[in-house]
Amino acid sequence: MSSTANNVNGTTSSSNGTVNGTARGAALTLDQARRYARHIILPEVGSVGQRKLLAAKVLLIGAGGLGSPAALYLAAAGVGTLGIVDYDTVDLSNLHRQIIHGHHNIGRPKVDSVRERLADVNPDVEVVTFNEPISSANALDIIRDFDVVVNGSDNFPTRYLVNDACYLLGKPLVDGTLFRFEGRANVFLPGQGCYRCLFPAPPPPGAVPSCAEAGVLGAMCGVIGTIQAVETVKLLLDLGEPLVNRLLLFDSLTMEFREVKIPRDPDCPLCGDNPTIHELIDYEAFCGAPVTALG
C-alpha cells in the first residue's frame, strides 16, 4: 500500500485509491450507495471519494477519550480499515467520555469493545486490533501499513514515539490533546514540522498532570476527537486546508477557538535540516518516565 501522505503532498497516489481522479477500488454496492448517500452527493466526495475512503487505512493510537469519537466517525464515514492500538481494559471511570465503550464492556479489553461497536456501526469496516503497548520495538511495524495515524495517547513518551515513527515512515499524524476544559488539535505532515518542532523537549516527570490527575470535561473529548476525524477524512480525500503548521486551541468555557502557528524548526533533531535522529530511541529514558496506559 502506498501512503496517502504522498497524495496529500501531491506527488503520487494510493495504489488502491485513485489515479488521476479515477477510482480503482471496487465499485460501490447498492447498500453502500445508500449508506454513504450524503457523502456521495457532496461534489467534493462523490463516488470516487467514497471509494477512496473505503480503500483507506487509518490507525488510532488509543481507544479512549479521543479515540472513541474519532473511531466512531471514521467507521461511519466508511474508512475501510481501522487499526486500534490499546492494551487497556474498560473501566467504569472511562465511561463519562469514552463513548465507544458501553457499561457491559467493563473489564474487557478496549480493543474487543471497539471491534464489537464498530462492527455494528458499519460492517464495511475491517478492524485491526493491537492489544499491546506501542513501543520502539513494534511502532514501525504497526504503523507501516496505514495511511494516516490519529493520536489519542495520554503520555509524553508515546507522543514522541508516535511522532518520530510517523515522520520516519512518512505518515501524516493527526494529533489531539485534552486538559480539563481545553483541547488542541493539529496535523503533522512529514517534512512540514513535527511534534518536536512544537515542543522540543518533554516536561520533567510529574510536572504536567494527566487527565486522570487533573480531570477532563467528557464532551470535550467529542469536540477534539471529532476534529481529528474531520482532519483525517480531509487528508484522505485531499480536501480543504488541513491543520498543518497551525495549532487549533479550543477553550470550552469561553467557547472560543483560536490558532497559533507551528513552524518547522530547521534545527529540529528529527525533521530539521541536519537531523540527528534516524531511528526510534528509548522514549521512556528521553522523557524520564514510564509509558502509562493509552487512550
Judged by the rule CB under 8 A, the positions of this chain that interact with other proteins are 62, 64-67, 94, 97-98, 151-156, 158-159, 176-182, 184, 198-203, 207-212, 214, 216, 247, 249, 254, 258-263, 265, 293-295
Distance from C-alpha of 217 to C-alpha of 251, rounded to nearest angstrom: 11
DSSP state of 201: S
Give 191 or 204: the residue with its C-beta nearer to other proteins. 204
In the complex with other proteins, the residue whose CB is nearer, 126 or 256, is 256
**For the chain, how are helix, strand and coil distributed in percent, rounded to 5?**
35, 20, 45
CB closer to other proteins out of 211 and 239: 211
| Dist CA 205 CA 190 (whole Å) | 28
For residue 44 the three cell numbers come to 467534493
Residue 183 CB, nearest distance to other proteins (Å)? Answer: 9
**What is the smallest separation between the CB atom of 260 and other proteins, expressed in angstroms?**
5
What is 261-279 written as a DSSP string? E----TT-TTTSSS----S
Q: Which amino acid, 47?
A: S
Q: How far is the CB of 206 from other proteins (least distance, A)?
A: 12
Q: With respect to other proteins, which residue has the nearer C-beta, 154 or 164?
A: 154
Beta bridge partners of 19: 22
Q: Which amino acid is at 123?
A: P
Q: How far apart are CA 177 and CA 210, in angstroms?
A: 11
- Residue type at position 268: C
Between 16 and 94, CB nearer to other proteins: 94
Tell me how far, at minimum, the Cβ of 68 lies from other proteins, in Å.
9
Neighbours of 278 (CB within 10 A): 10
Minimum separation from the CB atom of position 79 to other proteins (A): 19
Shortest approach of other proteins to residue 288 CB, angstroms? Answer: 12
Query: What is the C-alpha radius of gyration for the chain, rounded to an integer number of angstroms?
Result: 18
Q: Residue 177 pairs with which residues in a beta bridge?
A: 184
Closest CA to 247 of 233, 261, 237, 234: 261
Q: How many Cα atoms are found within 13 Å in the side-chain-facing hemisphere of 206?
A: 0
CB of 57 to other proteins, least distance (A): 21
* Cβ closest to other proteins, residue 40 vs residue 70: 70
Q: Which C-beta is closer to other proteins: that of 146 or that of 156?
A: 156
